[in-house]
């Protein structure tokens, strides 16, 4: 059983890129020459990247360059695909997670993941949050109750759903469902959140709410977000990594502080992409 973090004070709104929460970069994830094959097809190759604790790292780049595949390596969802072959090394908090003896269940508990399409289970709102907690050994009713309330408050959903916790989660709107999914991950008190285009399946207003939420989570969680929306990446990211397709396989072509990537990129491809000329 893990002690749940106390309810944090509402996070101060950061002015994007002015005052990064992670001013002192403190590496949390170290990816070393990571490659991934689906059967004979190479998805991406030789990605070396460091992700800092408490920061928002945005992965950007054109479709099909392996960003999502890269994300699924970090919590070993790749294990679900039988033909998938990962090589290289990923160290998370000094732990080699690709080692065969890694307990993926515990790993995934420490790393939450949010998908493009909201995917609550066909259960009630309460059961959606309660069921994974119970599975991870939280049995005490009051503790469950407070964990549910805390995580729903964290995502700003508490006031909207507190009177209908037992109604089906699938009856919520798309944006609410997505925030519920984030709450579901937060309830497990992860250290890191992987987000695969969390706003792109939502309408602009819901997407904006989710984006604000992500910004508020900065500092408490290490966040890696895949996004196609360059404006969004520019608004929220502390660091950015640009993927590109070379010879039908994804590669990481530039990485650095978001400010540098978007304003003074070194690589001409990056410059073209962020200025909207390519990709």
Summarize as ranges the residues that interact with other proteins (CB under 8 A): 2, 75, 77, 80, 82-83, 93, 95, 99, 101-110, 112-113, 115, 117, 119, 121-124, 131-132, 135-136, 168, 181, 184-185, 188, 191
User: Please, which residue, 75 or 232, has the CB nearer to other proteins?
Assistant: 75
User: Please, which residue, 193 or 240, has the CB nearer to other proteins?
Assistant: 193
Instruction: For the CB of residue 13, give the shortest distance to other proteins in the complex, in Å.
Output: 28
Residue with tokens 């929460």: 21
* Long-range own/partner contacts, residues 199-206 (CB < 8 A, 24 or more apart): 199/227, 199/229, 199/232, 200/116, 200/227, 200/228, 200/229, 201/116, 201/117, 201/118, 201/174, 202/118, 202/174, 202/175, 202/178, 203/174, 203/175, 205/175, 206/173, 206/174, 206/175, 206/176, 206/178
- Please check whether residue 238 is in contact with residue 22, taking contact to mean a CB–CB distance below 8 angstroms: yes
Instruction: For the CB of residue 232, give the shortest distance to other proteins in the complex, in Å.
Output: 22
User: Please, which residue, 46 or 191, has the CB nearer to other proteins?
Assistant: 191
Instruction: For the CB of residue 185, give the shortest distance to other proteins in the complex, in Å.
Output: 7
Give CA torsion, residues 155, 182, 178, 116, to 10 deg: 140
Instruction: For the CB of residue 231, give the shortest distance to other proteins in the complex, in Å.
Output: 27
User: Please, which residue, 80 or 277, has the CB nearer to other proteins?
Assistant: 80
User: Please, which residue, 2 or 173, has the CB nearer to other proteins?
Assistant: 2
Instruction: For the CB of residue 265, give the shortest distance to other proteins in the complex, in Å.
Output: 32
Strand 84-92's sheet: what is its strand order? 95-96, 84-92, 27-38, 41-52, 249-257, 239-246, 56-60, 222-226, 192-196, 111-114
Instruction: For the CB of residue 81, give the shortest distance to other proteins in the complex, in Å.
Output: 9
User: Please, which residue, 95 or 272, has the CB nearer to other proteins?
Assistant: 95
Q: Running DSSP on this structure, what letter comes out for residue 168?
A: B
């Amino acid at each position: 059983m893990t002690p749940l973090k106390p309810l944090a004070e509402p996070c101060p709104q950061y002015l994007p890129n002015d005052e990064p929460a992670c001013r002192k970069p403190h590496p949390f994830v170290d990816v070393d020459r990571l490659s991934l094959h689906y059967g004979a097809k190479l998805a991406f190759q030789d990605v070396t990247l460091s992700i800092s604790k408490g920061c928002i790292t945005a992965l950007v780049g054109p479709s099909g360059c392996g960003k999502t595949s890269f994300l699924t390596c970090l919590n070993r969802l790749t294990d679900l695909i039988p033909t998938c072959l990962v090589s290289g090394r990923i160290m998370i908090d000094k732990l080699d997670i690709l080692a065969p003896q890694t307990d993926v269940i515990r790993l995934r508990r420490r790393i939450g993941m949010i998908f493009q399409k909201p995917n609550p289970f066909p259960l009630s709102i309460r059961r959606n949050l309660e069921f994974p907690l119970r599975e991870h050994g939280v049995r005490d009713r009051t503790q469950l109750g407070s964990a549910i309330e805390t995580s729903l408050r964290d995502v700003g959903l508490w006031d909207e759903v507190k009177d209908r916790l037992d109604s089906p989660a699938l009856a919520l709107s798309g944006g609410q469902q997505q925030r519920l999914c984030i709450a579901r991950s937060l309830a497990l008190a992860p250290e890191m959140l992987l987000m695969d285009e969390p706003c792109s399946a939502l309408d602009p207003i819901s997407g904006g709410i989710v984006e604000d939420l992500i910004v508020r989570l900065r500092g408490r969680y290490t966040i890696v977000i895949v996004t196609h929306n360059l404006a969004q990446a520019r608004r929220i990211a502390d660091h950015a990594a640009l993927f590109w397709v070379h010879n039908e396989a994804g590669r990481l072509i530039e990485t650095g502080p978001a400010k540098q990537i978007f304003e003074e990129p070194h690589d001409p491809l990056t410059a073209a992409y962020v200025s909207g000329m390519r990709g």
